[in-house]
Amino acid sequence: MAKTLIAYYSRRGQNYVNGDIKNLARGNTELIAEMIQKHVGGDLFEIETVEEYPIDYTECTLVAKDELRRKARPALKNYLDDISDYDVIYVGYPCWWGLPPMAVFTFLEHCDWSGKIIRPFSTHEGSGLGGSISQIKKACPGATVKAGLAIHGADAARSESAVVDWLNQNL
């Protein structure tokens, strides 16, 4: 039986939700990652940066946009040095300007993806998956990247049926 990893980056605190800034106790992507784990099992791994993003949403977007412009690779608090035990890896992220946060690329570029199946999922406020799938393919040579799932962030807490449908289509 395939061993599964669910690796995700999620933002708690101030988030853009349906045109307003709201304070979220748990990030939208984290909610989806937990739904996936509930239905397929596996290990959860939260991608966390050493230097945390500003709490203020607007300040966070300025930092994140600068990272994107520079193609920065922020240091992570923890790394998975060996993913050889995993066959299927779900990679989750909020979609920022059509891409995962740069910290997700730090994670992706740190691993050997040879022979792995990646199932991307994102939360967003309008961009869907953006250009993230093609960028994940570039960052993960040797992996098979399957169809992704995009969940509108404001609907994340109510999206379990959409998550299950996607999981069932991709098993």
The residue segments making up the domain with residue 94 are 4-169
**What CATH number is given to the structural domain containing 82?**
3.40.50.360
Classify residue 11 by burial, with Cβ atoms within 10 Å: 0-12, 13-18, 19+: buried
Cα-only R_g, the chain: 15
Specify the pTM: 0.96
Number of separate domains in the chain: 1
> Per-residue confidence of the chain (171 residues) as pLDDT tens digits?
569 999 999 999 999 999 999 999 999 999 999 999 999 999 999 999 999 999 999 999 999 999 999 999 999 999 998 999 999 999 999 999 999 999 999 999 999 999 999 999 999 999 999 999 999 999 999 999 999 999 999 999 999 999 999 999 976
Which residue type does 4 have? T
First to last CA, the chain: 12
